[in-house]
Chains A and B, each alone.
Chain A
Amino acid sequence: MKRLRLLINKSLILLAASVPTHALAFEYVPYAGFEGYQEIQISADIFYVAAHGDRKSAISDVEAAWKTRAAALCRQQNHGYFTALKYSFEPVLKLDMAASTHDHMTRGEYLKVGGGFVYIPIYVPGPNPNARLSAPSKQSHIRCFSTLSEAIDPGRAISVEEVLDEGRQRGWIK
Chain B
Amino acid sequence: MKLFIPAVALILLSGCASYAPPSIDKETGRYSEIVPLEAGAIEKKKTNVDLSKYRFVYLNAETNVYESRFEFFVREALVGFGFKHILNQDELIALVSSDKETTDLASLSDPLAQRKLSNDVGPILYIRFSSRWDGDVRRYVDVEVVDMSSGETLLKINHPKMIWWEVDREAHYPVLNAIKQWTEECGKPGVSA
Which residues of chain A have a CB within 8 Å of any CB of chain B? 4, 7-8, 10-11, 14-15, 18-19, 30-34, 38, 40, 42-43, 48, 50, 52, 86-90, 103-104, 107-108, 110-111, 113-125, 128, 130-135, 137, 139
Cβ-neighbour of B115 out of A8, A107, A117, A132 (below 8 A): A117
In the complex, the answer to whether B64 meets A132 with C-beta atoms within 8 Å is yes
In the complex, the answer to whether B122 meets A111 with C-beta atoms within 8 Å is yes
Which residues of chain B have a CB within 8 Å of any CB of chain A? 1-2, 5-6, 8-10, 13, 16-21, 53, 56, 60, 62, 64-69, 71-72, 75-76, 79, 84-87, 89, 91-95, 98, 101, 108-109, 111-112, 114-115, 118-123, 126, 128, 132-135, 146-152, 193
Bound form: Cα–Cα A90–B193 in Å: 10
In the complex, the answer to whether B91 meets A86 with C-beta atoms within 8 Å is yes
Q: Across the A-B interface, how many residue pairs have beta carbons closer than 8 Å?
A: 162
Bound form: Cα–Cα A120–B60 in Å: 10
Q: A7-B2, A111-B123, A137-B68 are in contact. Are A40 and B152 (CB under 8 A)?
A: no
Cβ-neighbour of B65 out of A86, A107, A124, A132 (below 8 A): A132
In the complex, the answer to whether A115 meets B193 with C-beta atoms within 8 Å is no
In the complex, the answer to whether A33 meets B111 with C-beta atoms within 8 Å is no
Residues of B within 8 A of A119 (CB): 109, 111, 114
Cβ-neighbour of A87 out of B1, B67, B91, B118 (below 8 A): B91
Q: Nearest residue in A to B99 (C-beta to C-beta)?
A: A104
Q: A18-B10, A123-B89 are in contact. Are A117 and B64 (CB under 8 A)?
A: no
Q: Taking A4-B1, A86-B94, A130-B132 as given, write out 8 further A-B residue pairs in contact, using a Cβ cutoff of 8 Å, ordered by the A residue number.
A: A11-B6, A15-B13, A42-B84, A48-B75, A48-B79, A52-B66, A111-B123, A137-B69
| 24 A–B contacts from the bound complex (CB under 8 Å) | A8-B5, A11-B6, A38-B72, A38-B76, A50-B68, A52-B72, A87-B87, A87-B95, A88-B85, A88-B193, A89-B85, A103-B193, A111-B119, A111-B149, A115-B149, A115-B150, A119-B114, A120-B148, A121-B109, A124-B60, A130-B132, A133-B64, A134-B66, A135-B66
In the complex, the answer to whether B18 meets A131 with C-beta atoms within 8 Å is no
Shortest Cβ-Cβ A-B pairs, 3 listed: A33-B17, A137-B68, A115-B150
Residues of B within 8 A of A52 (CB): 66, 68-69, 72
In the complex, the answer to whether B21 meets A31 with C-beta atoms within 8 Å is yes
In the complex, the answer to whether A113 meets B9 with C-beta atoms within 8 Å is no
In the complex, the answer to whether A118 meets B87 with C-beta atoms within 8 Å is no
CB distance from B120 to the nearest CB of A (A): 7
Bound form: Cα–Cα A139–B133 in Å: 23
Q: A89-B193, A123-B89, A125-B62 are in contact. Are A134 and B67 (CB under 8 A)?
A: yes
Residues of B within 8 A of A107 (CB): 101, 120-121
In the complex, the answer to whether A117 meets B128 with C-beta atoms within 8 Å is no
Q: Nearest residue in A to B53 (C-beta to C-beta)?
A: A110
Bound form: Cα–Cα A135–B135 in Å: 17
Residues of B within 8 A of A120 (CB): 114, 126, 146, 148, 151
Cβ-neighbour of A14 out of B6, B65, B152 (below 8 A): B6
Bound form: Cα–Cα A102–B75 in Å: 28
Q: A90-B98, A137-B69 are in contact. Are A15 and B60 (CB under 8 A)?
A: no
Bound form: Cα–Cα A125–B129 in Å: 12
Bound form: Cα–Cα A114–B150 in Å: 6
Residues of A within 8 A of B118 (CB): 111
